[in-house]
Amino acid sequence: MSLAQDYRKAMSQAGTPQFQEVIRQELEYSMKVELDKILATAPQNELEHTKKDLEGFKKLFHRFLQEKGPSVDWGKIQRPPEDSIQPYEKIRARGLPVNITSVLNKLVVVKLNGGLGTSMGCKGPKSLIGVRNENTFLDLTVQQIEHLNKTYNTDVPLVLMNSFNTDEDTKKILQKYSHSRVKIYTFNQSRYPRINKESLLPIAKDVSYSGENTEAWYPPGHGDIYSSFYNSGLLDTLIGEGKEYIFVSNIDNLGATVDLYILNHLMNPPNGKCCEFVMEVTNKTRADVKGGTLTQYDNKLRLVEIAQVPKAHVDEFKSVSKFKIFNTNNLWISLPAIKRLQEQNAIDMEIIVNPKTLDGGLNVIQLETAVGAAVKSFENSLGINVPRSRFLPVKTTSDLLLVMSNLYSLNAGSLTMSEKREFPTVPLVKLGSSFTKVQDYLSRFESIPDMLELDHLTVSGDVTFGKNVALKVCMRMRLTWVK
C-alpha cells in the first residue's frame, strides 16, 4: 500500500489521531524531498522567486492534509446582520466629496489577468480577446482609467496580476499604452506544481514549464493575490506612494468600473470606523444559484462557496429565497491591512481542491484559494448590494453576443445599458456548440442582430445570421439560415 493510500485510510474512520499524524508527517516529508529536487534545477536568476513559490505551496499542502470534510458547519451559518450588507442606494445617497481628486489619488485598480482564452477557442490571455469595436478587455480597462485620470486630474494606476501563462504576451501588448495617461504595473501570481491524485506528489521533475512539463504547473487561483502582491514588492511601493485601497476585479467583468460613491464611503466612513474590505454582491437570479454568498459565521462575515456546502444542504444553498445575494468578485481592500495580515500570516482562505485530467489521462489535483474568501480576516468587512449592471462577465460567446449588441452603448471604455431597452434585465442567451469558439461565432453573424426587444434566445444546430436581423421576445432557432 502506498503512503497516499495509507493517508486516505487513516483519514477515514479507521485511523487513530496518532496514526493520522504520522502519515501526514511522512507525506509532508516526501513532498519536501520532491520540492527540494525541483528547486535544485532552478537557474540562479529564478532561484529566489521559485523558492518563495514552493514555500507557499508547502504551506497550502500542509493545510490540505490537515483538513477533512466540508469546511463549514451548516448549523453555524446565519443571515448576516442587516447593517453588514448595505444597499448601494444608501451609499450613493451620501453623495461625493468636494476633494474627489485627492480621494482618487489613494486608489489602485487591480485586474485579475491570469486566465487564458482557451474556453472560447482562443490562444493567449483572455484579456486580449476583442469584445467591442475591436477593443479587447485590456483596451477597455485602460480607456476607463485614462478617462478617470483625465476627468479628475488624478493618478490612478492599473495593476495586472498575470500568471506564467499570460505574462509574456501581456507585457508585449502593454507597449501600445505607453502614451496613455495610465501607469501600468504587473506582477505574477505564484506557480505551483500539480499533484498526482494517487501518489499526492508533484508531477513536475524540474522548474521548466515547457515541453513535457507544460501541464505540470498551474496558477493557484486568485486568492494568491495577497502573498504574490506582497512578495513582488509592489505592495510596499504603492503604500509608499500614498495609495490606501485597491479595487480588485476579474478583467472579463465589463461591469467592474471604479465607483466613486463606494470609494468615498471607504475613504470617509460615516461611523469613523475604517472598513478594510468591501465585497460587492448583487441579487441572485436562477442563473446564479451556484454563486458564493455572504453569511454570518462565528460572528464574522464569511463567503460560503457551493463546494464547501455539505451535500445534504446544497439545494438549500441554491435557494434564491433564502440566500438572495452572490459575490460579484468586485472587491475593495485596504493596502495597509493586506500588509499587516500578510506579515502576521493571518489571511485565512479555504482550500479549493480542483481535480483535473491531463491530456495523457493522468488524474491530478490543484490546490487553490479564492480572493473573496479572505473577507473574514479583515476588520469591519462590509457587503454592498450593487445593481446587476456591475456584474457583466464575459465567460462564453453567448455573453459576448450581449456586449457586442445594441443592448449596450460604449463610452470611454465603459458599457451602459441602452436607454432604448424597455426592460432593466439582460436577455437570457444560449448559443449552441457551433458558436463555442470566437472564430466560429463571428463567422455565423454577418452583423450583430438588434436585441433591444429580446427576452430569451436559444440557438442550436447549424444556424447562421444574415444582415439587419432583429431578435424579439422569446426565440428558439434550429434553422440553417436566418434573415
Q: Where are the domains of the chain?
A: 3-66, 74-390, 397-478
d(CA 2, CA 16): 18
298 labeled part of a ligand binding site: no
User: 233 with 49: CB under 8 angstroms?
Assistant: no
Give catalytic residues, as residue numbers.
Answer: 395
Rg (CA), the chain: 24
- What was the pLDDT predicted at 287? 77
* CA 359 and chain centroid, separation: 25
Look up the pTM and report it: 0.93
Provide the CB-side half-sphere exposure for 59 (13 A, CA): 16
CATH topology of domain 74-390: Spore Coat Polysaccharide Biosynthesis Protein SpsA; Chain A (3.90.550)
DSSP string, 308-331: GS-GGGHHHHH-TTTS-EEEEEEE
- What was the pLDDT predicted at 75? 87
CATH class entry, domain 397-478:
mainly beta
d(CA 278, CA 262): 9
Pairing of strands 245-250, 325-334: antiparallel
Q: Which of 272, 294, 273, 275 is nearest to 283 (CA)?
A: 294
126 labeled part of a ligand binding site: yes
78 labeled part of a ligand binding site: no
- What was the pLDDT predicted at 306? 86
395 labeled part of a ligand binding site: yes
Q: Phi and psi for 131 in degrees, rounded to 5?
A: -120, -25
252 labeled part of a ligand binding site: yes
d(CA 416, CA 403): 10
d(CA 213, CA 18): 37
Q: Which three cell numbers stand for residue 288?
A: 446564479
d(CA 4, CA 68): 15
Is the C-alpha dihedral spanning 383, 389, 390, 394 positive or negative? Answer: positive
Q: Which three cell numbers stand for residue 292?
A: 458564493
Local mean pLDDT, 10-residue blocks, the chain (483 residues): 65 69 91 96 94 96 83 85 93 94 97 94 94 96 98 98 96 96 97 96 92 89 96 97 98 98 95 93 86 90 87 86 91 98 95 91 95 96 96 95 96 95 88 94 95 92 92 66 43
66 labeled part of a ligand binding site: no
